[in-house]
Amino acid sequence: MECTASKLFSAIISVLLCQQLCLPLANADTTASIVFTSTRDGNKEIYVMNANGNREINLTRNRADDLDPTWSPDGEQILFVSNREGVRDLYLMDADGDNVQSVFQRSTHREQPAWSPDGKMIAYAAPEENAIMIASITGRSEKRLAWIDSGKGYPAWSPDGSEIAYNWMGGGGIRLINLDTDRITVFLKGRKFVRWQPAWSPTGDRLAFAALKWPENHVGPLRVDDKLTLYVADREGARVKHLVKEPVVNHPTWSSDGSEILYEKMVDNRKQLFKVDSERGKPQQLTRSGANYLADWIDSPVLAVEPTNATLTTVWGTMKRK
């Protein structure tokens, strides 16, 4: 009888432990995390938060400017820009902010990073050369991919790895380069749009971008920095949808399931992060403190930066040590 009671007690303890540990681990697979740039601490720092705007956590805490973060495809690392060595260049850190390291041995001005879908390569802009470059994530095999009209190229790697979309600023346009053939095509060719900052949908059949329609009979320079809004178009440009009609909108990025788009918009002269349903609109503001911009998000396969409740403190500390 005592043996039976002991076994029953052990079984109950096992179930309770599993409820505390196994459920958070299962939920970790579907937890969306947004990484972004914020000025709320007086300089540019990198933060993470949940997809609903809760639990904002500073990852960098450095006197240098740290900005423009992007998740690795597996969610375990963050590629970002920093001037902590005197010039803006590319750095890597773990998803919790640990193990910061430079990507390249020779530092020069590099920014606007993007990962390849397999996580082995990166694309970025080299402003001093007016070029889009690619390299391995270890900083090797660096080469020029395409010329751009200015340093703001914002390359975006297609989900199947075959193309890179980027800004080509002459006339405010987006171009696509095939990585196998080096063939360059103009996105939405013939459409009277000033457009840039492309972002691929997870399935690769659509692109979101910031744009405005060229006014009828307009002649001369066009001021666009107070008019940009959010559009979505299919890869071939046959269907173009005006998703968010209020300016000023910049830097869209898709959720992992394609149901929402994250973007930045000016609010009281500061950039703030919003998300919107990719089909129906209905924007929702996520940030309010300081200026917040240059964001990326992922359905993270790892635990959050901090445990979700006090009962996980010991478990989290054990996993971190491993």
For residue 271, the tally of other CB atoms under 10 A from its CB is 22
List beta partners, residue 93. Answer: 78
How much is the pLDDT for 176?
96
How much is the pLDDT for 221?
60
144: Cβ contacts below 8 Å, ≥ 6 apart: 126, 129, 131, 132, 133
**In this predicted model, which residue has the larger pLDDT, 86 or 224?**
86
What domains lie within the chain, and their CATH numbers? 30-300 (2.120.10.30)
How much is the pLDDT for 317?
35
How much is the pLDDT for 246?
87
**Contact call for residues 90 and 72 (beta carbons, < 8 A):** no
Q: Which helix (H) or strand (E) holds 21?
A: helix 2-28
pLDDT higher than 90, residue 152 = no
How much is the pLDDT for 150?
78
How much is the pLDDT for 215?
62
Residue 80, helix vs strand vs coil: strand
pLDDT higher than 70, residue 25 = no
**Contact call for residues 228 and 247 (beta carbons, < 8 A):** yes
41 vs 272: CA distance, rounded Å: 15
pLDDT higher than 70, residue 304 = no
How much is the pLDDT for 197?
93
pLDDT higher than 60, residue 14 = no
How much is the pLDDT for 27?
40
Question: 3-33 burial string, b = 16+ CB within 10 Å, else e?
Answer: eeeeeeeeeeeeeeeeeeeeebeeebeebbb
Q: Is residue 248 reached through a cis peptide bond, with omega within 30 degrees of 0 on the bond before it?
A: yes
229: Cβ contacts below 8 Å, ≥ 6 apart: 210, 211, 212, 242, 244, 245, 246, 247, 248, 249
Q: Which helix (H) or strand (E) holds 71?
A: strand 66-71
Residue with token string 């992992």: 256
* Tens digit of each residue's pLDDT (9 = 90 or more) over 38-58: 999 999 999 999 999 999 999
**In this predicted model, which residue has the larger pLDDT, 64 or 7?**
64
How much is the pLDDT for 322?
37
How much is the pLDDT for 305?
47
How much is the pLDDT for 247?
87
* Tens digit of each residue's pLDDT (9 = 90 or more) over 194-241: 888 999 999 999 999 999 876 666 566 656 556 789 999 999 888 999
* 99 Rama class: left (phi>0) / alpha (psi -120 to 50) / beta: left
pLDDT higher than 90, residue 311 = no
pLDDT higher than 90, residue 315 = no
How much is the pLDDT for 32?
82
**In this predicted model, which residue has the larger pLDDT, 90 or 13?**
90
* Tens digit of each residue's pLDDT (9 = 90 or more) over 93-136: 999 999 999 999 999 999 999 999 999 999 999 999 999 999 99
